[in-house]
Amino acid sequence: MKFKTTPYHFDLLKDSERLAGFLQAIRDYEGKMDLAYDLGCGSGVLSYFLSDYFKEIVAVEIEKGTYDCAKENLSDFENIQVVNSDVLNYKFTEKADLIVCEMMDTALIDEEEVPVLNHARQFLKKDGKIIPQGIINSAELVNMQREYVHWDENAKYEEMSRPVIYSEFNFLEDINPDFEAEILFKALHDGKINGLKITTFTKLNDNLICGPTPMLNPPLLIPLEEKFVKSNDLIKVKLKYIMGNGIESIKSEII
């Protein structure tokens, strides 16, 4: 099927690993379930995947231009309703068997996955599921060239510690968007540290972890005050951010 897209969603469609992961998770639903919500549906590709497994899909998209693309792409599917609305304002009328919400970004900082799911979860059946199911966040110390928050696309940096898993979230549970953690690292070798690299892995279901991929949670590099370390030194970092409030909310310091 050929999809009409915005330039951004065209790049999403080119990320075959991301699409394959979500399709595999959706294929776990054998037979026709009743209702699925696709929140932040974009061009509608995940609703297209859902159409074989659910009697009804409600696809919600806030951006008018993107909604127009999804509306056109899904116009031949009688079991898909495409709605132009903010999820937080949409009047849900039924509880769903499944919520698909791919408002994903690294550590959920720059997208609205957490506030949207905290709101929409009340419209999920007691035994309902969410795709993705959750995320796993890891961090490591780096020596990076740029002195500002940026994604790692074409960025140069040297890894200065092993990755440390610092948080995990299950999307079936209410999540506090105000995140704070103290993370302990051990230096791999002598050198300079001046940043953190955050990597987010997407847990699509109990058996499937995806990413990061080019368009699904690319690693994020965050500056720290410069410090020279020796091999096996222990370094503790305090990391704070507000999920859904953007990268401007990030605060990091060596303590």
Coil, strand, or helix at residue 88?
helix
- AA identity, residue 254: I
Is the residue at 115 inside a domain?
no
Is the residue at 84 inside a domain?
yes
Question: Band of the pLDDT at 153, cuts 50, 70, 90?
Answer: confident
Query: Containing domain of residue 151, as a range?
Result: 135-254
Is the residue at 239 inside a domain?
yes
Span 159-212, pLDDT tens digits: 999 999 999 999 999 999 999 999 999 999 999 999 999 999 999 999 999 999
Same domain, yes or no: 248 and 141: yes
Distance, CA of 45 to CA of 51 (rounded, Å): 10
Q: Which of 122, 139, 138 is nearest to 130 (CA)?
A: 122
Is the residue at 73 inside a domain?
yes
- AA identity, residue 2: K
Is the residue at 125 inside a domain?
no
pLDDT of 24 reads 96
234, β-bridge pairs: 186
- Chain mean pLDDT for the chain: 96
**Is 1 a residue whose pLDDT tops 90?**
no
Number of domains in the chain: 2
pTM for this predicted structure: 0.95
Strand pairing report for 178-186 and 208-210: unpaired
Distance, CA of 240 to CA of 249 (rounded, Å): 8
CATH number, position 226: 2.70.160.11
CATH number, position 21: 3.40.50.150
Strand pairing report for 80-84 and 157-159: unpaired
| Angle 34-37-43 from CA coordinates, rounded to 5° | 125
**Is 101 a residue whose pLDDT tops 90?**
yes
Element (H, E) at 19: helix 16-26
Q: Which string of b and e fits 2-32 if b means at least 16 CB within 10 Å?
A: ebebeeebeebeeeeebbebbeebbeebeee
Cβ-proximal residues to 169 (8 Å cutoff; 6+ apart), any chain: 108, 134, 135, 175
Final residue in a domain of this structure, among 83, 102, 121:
102
Is the residue at 148 inside a domain?
yes
Same domain, yes or no: 156 and 201: yes
Hey, what are 225's tokens? 């005050």
Span 216-252, pLDDT tens digits: 999 999 999 999 999 999 999 999 999 999 999 999 9
